[in-house]
Each structure stands twice: as structure tokens, then as C-alpha cells.
Structure 1
Amino acid sequence: MGVIKNYTAVSAILKSRDEQQKLIKEWEKLWNNKYQHTKSDLIKIGEKRGFKASAFSGFDSLVLKKYSPLNVNEKAGVLSRITTNYLIETDTLTAVINVLKLEGNNENINKVYSTFENREDVWVVDKRLITSELMDVLNDNFNRLIIISLAFVFIILLLAYGRIELTIITMIPVLISWIWTVGIMGVFGISFNIFNIIILTFIFGLGIDYSIFMMRGLLQDYKYGIKDMSSYRVSIILSSITTLAGIGVLIFAKHPALQSIAMMSIIGIFSVVLINFILLPAIFNWLVSYKKGKRNRPVTLLDFIMSVISLIVFVLGALMMNLLSFLFRIFPANRDKKKYVFHWIFSKLTWFLIYMNFFSRKTIINPHGEDYSKASIIIANHQSHIDLMLMMLLNPKVLVLTNNNNYNHPFYGFALKYADFLPSDGGYENVLDNYKPLMKKGYSLVIYPEGHRNDSGIIKRFHKGAFYLAEQLKIPVQPILIHGQNQLLKKSEFFLKRGSITTKFLPKISMEDESFGTDLRTKTKGIQKYFKQEYADLRKEKETADYFADYVRKNYLYKGPVLEWYTFVKLKLENNFKIFNDIIPRKCTITDLGCGYGYLDYMLNLISDDRIITAVDYDEQKIAVAANCAIKTPKVKFISDDITTYVLESSDVIIIKDVLHYLPEEKQKRLLHKSFEKLNDNGIIIVRDGDVEAEKEHKKTRFTEWLSTGIGFNKTTNDLEYISESQIRSFAESVKMKFEIVEQAKFTSNKIYVLRK
């Protein structure tokens, strides 16, 4: 009762034959009784109003007509037009539609369903349910289309950028702005409908466009140093304003659907613009720089994953050691044995933290077989947090002198205290008293004589504390060199990278040995000098062309897939420029004519900071890319100029690599003579070019150069003219220079000529 508010039924319009017959009889009976009286009244009233009696002749035809039942099969006329929406007729089915209007709640709807659920000849159809299901279908299809379009966009961006990192960063603002938009819709109670679903696809496309615009501006800055982000931002702002002006004005419309479109446009475009302006630059800048400037190796996805995993392991390990330190305190067992077990677990945990990063090479050089069988004062260079773990993984019986911040750290300080790590802030007299009983138990103490971390790779001044303790306790000093850790985890950032770490044990030093000095002060200086020299020798041994190849290659990441692959292939083909490094002195002034992207120049400078390099190239774009690398130092200068007219400065080494064949023969000769004139005494001219006299191999050289110039990778203003070995030899003889061929390519005619003054 009261469930149905109103209804519309075709039976009210189309009656059965019996009902029609009954109604006809009632109609005739009505007018049989009232016809004369009604007609008389019409005529009388009509005459008063000025109507003739004949004006009501139609009344007679209407009420005196003999009616017959209507044939329901007739399709013509008014009846068919009225009943069309209420009848379903097919070859196998005839159905009548009745419309019910209910109180709008699920209880009443369920009552109607339950009333007719057992009637096979009655179907109940809910318009709201149909609409809801239609919206669900639209939402499902929309979500599916979004996923498909995202996949296509991802693939296209991946092909365009050539790096999955840039692709992900470009997609992040789109995804977050999408989530943000949907969230704002929820806050304001805006539900999805067919109209705003369509407009959301439009906003999605705008978001991708804006992200690509912003990324292009950031990449232009990173690649060429072009500071033009403001123009990209202005373009996006103008685009968003014009879009909002065209669609957002619908907010003033009275129709709810139009208002919904306008509201979604305003929310979506505002979200897209804001997130692109704030989030995308922040993520990209973190990728390529940190608080001290550009990263010498930008972050890669693999580095990021390994860093996150290492952080998780470190956090879990710290929590575990804190918990164990509490349990070991209350566990009833021998105190010294508990401490050793705790140190053993600590040592294995640090070993796991170091060696789980299997992409980084670890080398331990221990020529004297030091085994920590006796206590000693261990000194090491301090350049990273990794130093602590490297010292602890070597042996369980190792303690570390740490500062008060670490000792009382709320996260891991509890474990450090139980492990008998010693705080340095109380002075070395207190350290001496606290360490003496631990020394007798065979524990060695790690002290970093520099005092603080320093990731520059330079050994700083040593403090006397470590040597004072060794002298007072009459135990040896164990020097340990650590190389490469400052490049894996810098002091100024908490982000782990791939690389190589070398730990080298030096012979133990007795404080009674006066070869380093006669008193504590001179011994400290003597040991520091010895330590610095050994570290310099280790750097010279480890920091080779192969070591720095990764640095050079990664400075050209995120600068386009073609350049990235060219860099990779170039370094492989050049064998990381080892032969040039072997020829060129470690301390000299170098001029590189035709430097290209500067690979050789950076390699030479990274291996030896004492090389001062001026690099010149005709191609302005290549010079802009080379000059905008993170590994550039003041000792490497890039100049865009024509090498034939460039005014050379006096140099110890002049390199003319793969460039002579771009010049006419006359200019080749002038350049060689000009180079000789600006060469210092005992200087070197290094020429590499294709030898036209090696006919078989030279065909391959011509083909590769034709390919590189044809696609515009290398610029040229005239036909290529290759020089020959005899021409170079003839020039050397004419200026009385020593001539030597140090390398000949296997597959091409390229040769390296070394001319010594």
C-alpha cells in the first residue's frame, strides 16, 4: 500500500472489445435521457449569444451516431501513434508496457520485484538500474581505454626518449593529476556521467601534452644548458587559459550536464598544470642533480631500485640489532660471549649490506694476511657511510669511534652502545680509559683520523688522537685504504650508486718506529704523508680508462637515444681511449682540435687532474653538449670555432683526431705547420686519420664517413680529402720531428701517428 505513486497503462487508452461495447451502451443511455434537454439549452443560450440554431448541427452527429467497437489491429490513425511506445509486437512476441512511478527507495523497488518474481508473463524493468549498468559499462570501457592509451603513450615516449626513466617521469604527472582530479570530484560530490567521462579523456590528452612540453624544456637545459623553461611554462599557461575560456564558461550554464563538463574541465586542467609545474621539474632535477650541483652520474632506474632495497635492508637491520641488543641484555649468559655473538651478527649484517649490491665490484687487498688476532688501532680514510660497514664486515672484533650524534641516535644508537662503540666527544683520555679493557679482550678500534667525512677523494689533515691511543696502549696502527666508496654513497646525499670499492691493507705501523718521526706530532705528519702517497698510488692503479668509462658514458645519458648509443659505441670502439692516455703525459697542456662531444678530453682529465685541456670544434651543438656535462672542471675548456682560423696557444700536446679529411689539402698542411709552431719543446702532435694509401681498408673508412655526414651527424662544408701516411711522414721529416705509428685499425684505414718535437 502506498508503494506506487502513479502509473501509466496502455489499458487506459486501448480497451477490450467487451469493455468498448459496454462503454458504447452507457454512452447511448446517457444521451437517450439527456439529449432533448441538452439540445434545447444549447439553442436557447446560443440565441442569446447571437448563434443560429443550425450552429449546433454537429452536436446531433456526435451524440446520435451509432458507434461500434474499435478494431485493435488497425495501425493507422491517432490510436497507433498514441500506443506505439506502449506496445511491442514481433513475429513471436506481443507485449504491453506499463509504467509505474514509485517512492524512490530500494525497499519499494524490491517489493515490486518480489510481487512479480514468480510471474513468467511479466517482466520488471528498472530504468535506474539500466542507467546504472550503462554507466558501469561506460566506466569499465573508459578504464580499459585509458589503460590501452597509457600503454601506447608509454611505448611512444620510450621510443622517443630512449630511457625508461624519462618515460616514467613524464607519465607520473599525468597519473597523479588523474588521481587528484578524481579525488577532488569525490570531495565535491561530483559523480561520473557520460558527459564528464568524455571530457576527462580530453584532459588526459592535455596532461600528456603538457608533460612532454615540460620535459622537453628540462632536457634542453640539461643537454645544451639552454635556460628557457619560462617560455615553455608560458606556452602551457596560455594553452590552459584558452581551453578554460572555451569550456570553463559552461559553468554558467543552467543545464547540470553542461555545468558538470565545465567543472571537470576546471578541476582537471588546473590539476594538470599545477602538477606539471611543480612535480615534474622536481623529479627530473633530483634525477640529474643534488644540493651541491649536477650529479657526475645521473640516477638510473636500476640504481634507484638497488638504493631502495638497500635502504629497506638497512632499516630492518637497524631495527633487528636494536631488538637483539635489548634481548641480549636480559638473556642469562656469559657477557663476553653475548657481546661476541652480537658483534658476529653485526659483522654479517654489514657484509650482506655491502655484497647485496652485486652490481658493484668489491676488492680486498690484504697482502700480509692481517687477521685481527691481536688488537690494533685501525685508521682509514673517511669519505662515506660505507666506510663504517667496510670496517665492520672484516672481523667481528672491531669497534668504531663515533661521534655523539651517531652514538645517541634514536634509530640505531641503542645497538651501537651495546656493541661498545665509543663516543669521541668526551676526549681521548676518556676513550683511552673506556677502550683499554676492550683492547685486552682482543677488540681493535677503528678511528678515522681525518675526523669527518670528505667525499672529494682528497686525504685531509690527520688528527693525533688515534696515534696517541696507539702510543699509550703500545699497540700497532693498522692503516687501511678505501677507494671508490665516495662515488657509491656521497656524504651530501643518501643515494646508493653502482661502482667499485677497493679495501687495501697496508703494513702495520709500530709507534716505536722513528722513521715516521720522533714525537707524536711528527709521527702523525709522517704517517699522514705515507698514507697520502699510498692512497695516490692506489688511485693511479685503480682510476684507469676502464674505471672512468662509466662516468663519461653516463654524462651523456638523458640527452637523446641517438647520442647515448653513439657514446656507448664510441667508447667501445675506442677501447675507452686507453692508447691516447698511455701516450699523453699525466701533467701537460693539451689542445684538442676537432673534439666532437669531448669524450677523449673528459677521459684524459678524469684520469689526471693535472692535464689542462682546450677542446675546439666547428659544430656549435656538439660543443654546447660537451660543455654542459657534470664532470666538466675549470681545467677543461670547450670552444666553438673553425680550427683552421683558431689562434692556437702553446701546448705540450696537440691532438688532431679524425678531422684532417674534412679540410682541403692546403688547409691540412697549414694546420699541421701551425700546430708545430705552437708546440712546446718535447711536445707531441697526435694525428689520427684514414690512410688513403691503404686502399682495401680505406673503402670502409669512406663508407662510414659518408654515412655520418649524410645523416648530418658530422658537419662538413666541402668534399672529404683524405691524407696518406707518406704525407704525414713527409711533414714530420720537413720539420725534423720523430715519426711513429702506434696503432692501426683492424677494419678501417685509420692510423694514429705520433710526432715528437
Structure 2
Amino acid sequence: ALAIDRQQMNENFLGLLKNDFNTLINYSLLAIILTIIVFFRNFELTVLTMFPIVLTGVVTAGILYFLGLELNIFSTVVCTLVFGVGDDFSIFLTQAMQKEHTTGKNELPTYRTSIILAVFTTILSIGSLIFAKHPALHSLALVALIGMFSVIIITSTLYPFWFRLLITNRAKKGLSPVTFRLFFNAVLSFLYYGIGGLLFSAIGSFFVKRSKGKTLNFIKLILAKFLTSVLYTNPFVKKKLIKNPNEDFSRPAVIIANHTSFLDTLALAMTTHKIIYLVNDWVYNSPVFGKIVRALGFYPVSQGIENGMEKLREKVDQGYSLVVFPEAERSYTNDIKRFHKGAFYIAEEFGLDVVPVYIHGNSEVQPKGDFIIYDGSITVKVGDRIDKNDERFGKNYSERTKKINAFFREQFAKFRSELEDENYFKKKLFLSYLYKDNEVVQEVKEDFNKNKSVYFELNKHIPKDANILHIADDFGQKDVLLTLQQASRRIFSLMKDEEKRQIAEQIYLVKRRKIKYIKNSTEIDKKIDVLLVADESFKADTLADLPETVIFLNVKNTLTENNNYTLKFSSDSLKVFSSE
């Protein structure tokens, strides 16, 4: 006789079925992730697409637990259907949001309507089983209804909110899209800086007030090392200090530097620790490092330089140099703005030399208005000391302000030319097209890699403050490069292709640079200095008035028959004509 335990056999069967089902679920989830990665070719978009699916699972499981319902084999099978539908909806929404980010067109209502209709028909078909008398069918329908309602709420509301918050809205504010790595690197650096600043304010300020001489000098050295160490929390940012063999800061001076970023103060700490900063109120009164700033004798410029001359003179007599950002505020670009007179007034009153320090890279690494620290390089160069009696820079502080301003601009331009090669703005350019349609991203990358040497040469033939009429047939990448290279340029970009024009208009740098996309030449409101032709179908001779410089980029049409223009430069891809 053979005895069979039917209950044990059923439990074993269901256990094996459950294990097989869980294994298949894991395999299918992995397959979905790989498929989405291949489709979008972007890790962040993959995570955002998977977010509603995971959240739907958590919400559904939570509601079932709250209602006291247990998952059985039938309801588990239905869950896979719900997650599959949620996966489809997430992909559709990602495409809609990506299209909006690329072209500016809001196609979300169309996709949302389609999704709601699909959910509604699914609910009608499966939800009708809620009226079934069999417990298994009733449970199946209940799980399906809970899951489908979770899907529709999460995908149609929360998902678009997060996508716009993290990607679309940043571009509309003129901020670059970011990756998860950039975000976490920035958070790590600022946490380190914030915690360190609090500790220095709480502990360091106590010792500073009671220290003099070598002890105070040692504390300042430690603080300078800490400020410099903040820069080293990000391994994707290269740091370099170019010292001046003739400058050791043993003699007090007024140190002037260009100002584009929050990181400028940290970068200056690489040069010397024997400095006193003239700072803004938000630094002086900061809850993070305000105490240590006040204890070290930093001076708030809002109180007026005249009112602080005695305090500053005391610091100078102790051997400290004074750090002033003569532009008075941070700039959004790497252009050197007009210098204010304060730094040079102090130098004249105290009989101090002026030491220029050139900071390169911070305008790209951590631009004004953004907390993200981008990949790049920071280079600090200590310039030659300008003697207080050197009359080449003027006889009084008013004259010296203007002449040193011009000198600083000239030297910084040379410094930039030494550091910025054809690949310097590559990462910045590619970030401008992050999360846009794959076809657009791929074409921009291929175009840059193919023509980067040509674009680098092109920059040399266009003045830094030129008004440019660009006859374009791209996605705006040439306009981005030209204004990254020189922010003072104003570009009127004429595109026949409406879709390409819409894509170019959505680039975040359009909000920060002087770029205007036009449909016809009547929209030009400035005198054009340079005509840049990059569209093969355009005929330059059709324009009534040609500017002084006409440049042909990767096109065959030229001005060979125009006797008023002389060919100034020629290569296979670039032709530069001038009427001068």
C-alpha cells in the first residue's frame, strides 16, 4: 500500500511553483532593466523609468498589507501583469518627458490620455472579476484594481513631477542637466565643507581669539589647508597651482583675483595662508563659518572701506596681505568685468603693491547660481607683483583701477589660450544635450569629434565681442561652443528647419548667453560683424548687405566671384573672407 499526504504534496508543489515564479520574476526584471538601458542609453533615464514600477510595487504591497490581504499564486501572477503595464506606461512617459526636454513641446497630455484609456479598459476587463463568488477570482480582481489605480496615480502625477524637478526645470532656469554622480559628488563636497566649517567656527574661533604670533599663524595655515582640501573631495576636478618664483607673499600686498564661483575663495587658499579676505555680508554672517571668519579678522565690505581702514592697517602691520575681488560680485561667465576702485584705494592708502592672481576653470566647474560641482580643472596662477611706484599703471588709484583692469584682462586672455585646447569645452557641450533624444545626442557628439579642430580654428577668426549672423543647419552646438569660448558674443542663428530650431532653443545655455534663434533676417536688431554660413543650401550673395567678415564652414559655396572680399584663411573645411 502507498500512503500519500496530499496536503504535504500540495505545499511542496506550491513551494516549488513559488520559487520558480520568484526566479522568473527576477530574470524578467533584469531583462526589463537591460532593455530600458539599451533603449534610452542612459543610466539616469533608466532609473527614472524604473522608479514608478518599484514605487507601484511598494504602494500595492502596502495597501494589501493594510487591508489584511495575503498574496496567493493567482494574485501574484496578476501582479506581474500590473508591473508589466506599469513598465509600459513608464517608458511612454519617459519618451514624452524626453521629447519635451528636447523640443519644448508638451506632449504629456496626449500620452497621459492614452495611458488613462488603457488603464480604464484594463480595469473594466479584469476588474469585473471583483463580482465573482470564487475567493481566488475575487482576490485576483482586487489585487489588479489596487495595482492599476496605483499605476495610474504614480505614473501620471508623481513621475512627471520628479522628471521636471530634476531635469526639465533646471534647463529652464539656465542650469545644466546633471547626472547622479555629479549630484552626489557635490553633496559630499558641501557636506564636508559645512561640517568642517561648523567645527572650525565652534572650536577654531575660540583658539583664534586667544592666539597670537606663531600660534595664530599655525591656525591660519590649518584653515587654509582645510579650504584647499574641500577642492580635493572631488576626484573628477583637477587642481593646479602655478607659483611665481618671484613671489612668496612675505611682503604684504593687495591680492586681486577674478571672481566667478563660490570656489574662488577655496582656490586662493592654495596660494598662501597669510591673507585677510574682504567679504560680503552672507559670508561674514554665515551660520556655518561666520564665527571663524569674524575671529580671523575678515572684513565685511558692506560696512564701507573707509570705516575699516584702522582694522585693515592693523592686519597689514602684522604681515597679512588683503584679498579683494575687484569685480565686487561673481560673474556668470569667464569674462573679466569692470573693476571697482576699492582694492586700489586701499593699496594707495597703505602704500601696498598689487599682486594679481588668475583663477581659471571655476566658471565651468562651479558656475554662479548652481551648487553642482562639474568635472573640469581649476588652475590658479600667481602673477607678477605690480609695484606701488610703477607709473605705467597710473599715478593714482583711479587711473590704476582702469589700467590694471585692462592689464588683468589681457593677461587672463593669454592664460586662457594656454589652457583651453579643442577639447576644453567638450564636457560642457555634451552636458547641454544630456537626456535629449538619442539621435540628437549622437549627432552632436559625432559632429564635435569630427570637426573639433575646425571649431577651434574658427574661434580664432571671430572677435570676442562680435555680433554674428549664423546660417545654421545643426542643433545649436556651434552657437554653444562660440559663446562658451567667448561669452560676449551675440549670435543670431537663422535655421530653416523648424524642428532643429526648436531643439536648439531648449539648450540651457540660451538662457545664459546672447543667443537668439530667428526665422528670418528681419528679427536682427544689431549690426552684424560676422556672417557665418554653415548651411550648404544658403547663398551668401542673396543678402543685400554683407558684413566685414564672411566665414564658410563645411560648405562648398564661397565668395570667389566677389571682388570686394579677400580670402584671409583657407582650409578644406573653413574659408574666411574679409572686406578690410
- TM-score category, normalised to shorter length: 0.7 to 0.9
SS in 1 for 2:368: coil
**1:95 equivalenced with 2:8 (yes/no):** no
Contact 1:218 1:281 in 2 (8 A): yes
Closer, same or farther: CA 593–495 of 1 in aligned 2, 3 Å? closer
Alignment deviations for residues 318-369 of structure 1 (CA, whole Å, 9 cap, x no partner): 3554575289579xx9754443333223222222322343433444444464
Contact 1:378 1:478 in 2 (8 A): yes
CA distance in 1, matches of 2:91, 2:408: 52
1:390 offset after TM fit, Å? Answer: 0.9
CA distance in 2, matches of 1:687, 1:529: 33
Letter in structure 2 aligned against 1:194 = I
SS in 2 for 1:632: helix
1:301 offset after TM fit, Å? Answer: 3.9
**1:355 equivalenced with 2:263 (yes/no):** no
CA distance in 2, matches of 1:619, 1:246: 45
Closer, same or farther: CA 689–433 of 1 in aligned 2, 3 Å? closer
Letter in structure 1 aligned against 2:323 = V
2:183 is matched with 304
Q: 1:732 aligns with which of 547, 560, 564?
A: 560
CA distance in 2, matches of 1:479, 1:741: 36
CA distance in 1, matches of 2:77, 2:186: 41
1:151 offset after TM fit, Å? Answer: 1.7
Letter in structure 2 aligned against 1:161 = F
Structural RMSD (CA)? 4.1
1:345 is matched with 222
CA distance in 2, matches of 1:144, 1:678: 72
SS in 1 for 2:276: strand
- Report the number of matched residues: 574
Alignment deviations for residues 655-714 of structure 1 (CA, whole Å, 9 cap, x no partner): 555736xxxxxxx9xx46536x6434x543536457xxxxxxxxxxxxxxxxxxxxxxxx
1:609 offset after TM fit, Å? Answer: 4.9
SS in 1 for 2:381: strand
Contact 1:467 1:511 in 2 (8 A): no
Closer, same or farther: CA 686–452 of 1 in aligned 2, 3 Å? closer
1:135 offset after TM fit, Å? Answer: 6.7
2:499 is matched with 621
1:218 offset after TM fit, Å? Answer: 1.2
Letter in structure 2 aligned against 1:505 = V
2:247 is matched with 370
**1:268 equivalenced with 2:147 (yes/no):** yes
Letter in structure 2 aligned against 1:674 = T
1:213 offset after TM fit, Å? Answer: 1.5
Letter in structure 2 aligned against 1:573 = K
CA distance in 2, matches of 1:462, 1:673: 44
User: Structure 1 stretch 173-182 or stretch 365-374: which is displaced more?
Assistant: 365-374
2:63 is matched with 184
CA distance in 1, matches of 2:299, 2:136: 71
2:283 is matched with 406
1:388 offset after TM fit, Å? Answer: 1.6
Percent identity, aligned pairs only? 31
Q: Which structure's CA Rg is the greater one? A: 1
2:542 is matched with 674
Contact 1:406 1:413 in 2 (8 A): yes
1:389 offset after TM fit, Å? Answer: 0.7
Letter in structure 1 aligned against 2:178 = V
1:561 offset after TM fit, Å? Answer: 3.1
1:296 offset after TM fit, Å? Answer: 5.6
Closer, same or farther: CA 437–591 of 1 in aligned 2, 3 Å? closer
Task: Map 1:127-276; keep pairs closer than 5 Å.
Answer: 131=11, 140-251=19-130, 256-276=135-155
1:549 is matched with 426
Contact 2:193 2:230 in 1 (8 A): yes
* TM-score (norm. length: structure 2): 0.82
Contact 1:290 1:493 in 2 (8 A): no
CA distance in 1, matches of 2:381, 2:561: 49
Contact 2:59 2:150 in 1 (8 A): yes
Q: 1:480 aligns with which of 357, 368, 389?
A: 357
1:386 offset after TM fit, Å? Answer: 0.4
Task: Map 1:558-597; keep pairs closer than 5 Å.
Answer: 558-576=435-453, 577-586=455-464, 588=466, 590-593=468-471, 595-597=473-475
Contact 1:548 1:603 in 2 (8 A): yes
Q: Can you give the 5+ residue segments of structure 2 that lack an aligned partner in the other structure? A: none
1:603 offset after TM fit, Å? Answer: 2.8
1:208 offset after TM fit, Å? Answer: 1.3
1:75 is matched with none
CA distance in 2, matches of 1:275, 1:326: 50
SS in 2 for 1:679: coil
Letter in structure 2 aligned against 1:353 = V
SS in 1 for 2:510: coil
Alignment deviations for residues 115-152 of structure 1 (CA, whole Å, 9 cap, x no partner): xxxxxxxxxx976x975x77766665454333322221
Closer, same or farther: CA 379–586 of 1 in aligned 2, 3 Å? closer
CA distance in 1, matches of 2:335, 2:127: 60
Contact 2:167 2:177 in 1 (8 A): yes
CA distance in 2, matches of 1:596, 1:215: 25
CA distance in 2, matches of 1:425, 1:619: 51
CA distance in 2, matches of 1:611, 1:443: 40
CA distance in 2, matches of 1:173, 1:734: 62
Letter in structure 1 aligned against 2:332 = D
1:9 is matched with none
SS in 2 for 1:686: strand
Alignment deviations for residues 460-488 of structure 1 (CA, whole Å, 9 cap, x no partner): 56555544544444433433232331332
Tell me which of the two structures has the higher relative contact order, counting C-alpha pairs closer than 8 angstroms and 6 or more residues apart: 2
Q: Can you give the 5+ residue segments of structure 1 that lack an aligned partner in the other structure? A: 1-88, 98-124, 661-667, 691-722, 745-750
Q: 2:550 aligns with which of 667, 671, 684?
A: 684
Contact 1:351 1:389 in 2 (8 A): yes
Letter in structure 1 aligned against 2:542 = K
Contact 2:468 2:489 in 1 (8 A): yes
Contact 2:274 2:321 in 1 (8 A): yes
SS in 2 for 1:732: coil
User: Structure 1 stretch 520-529 or stretch 190-199: which is displaced more?
Assistant: 520-529
* TM-score (norm. length: structure 1): 0.65
CA distance in 1, matches of 2:18, 2:207: 58
User: Structure 1 stretch 437-446 or stretch 524-533: which is displaced more?
Assistant: 524-533
Letter in structure 1 aligned against 2:426 = A
1:210 offset after TM fit, Å? Answer: 1.7
SS in 1 for 2:425: helix
**1:285 equivalenced with 2:164 (yes/no):** yes
Closer, same or farther: CA 334–452 of 1 in aligned 2, 3 Å? closer
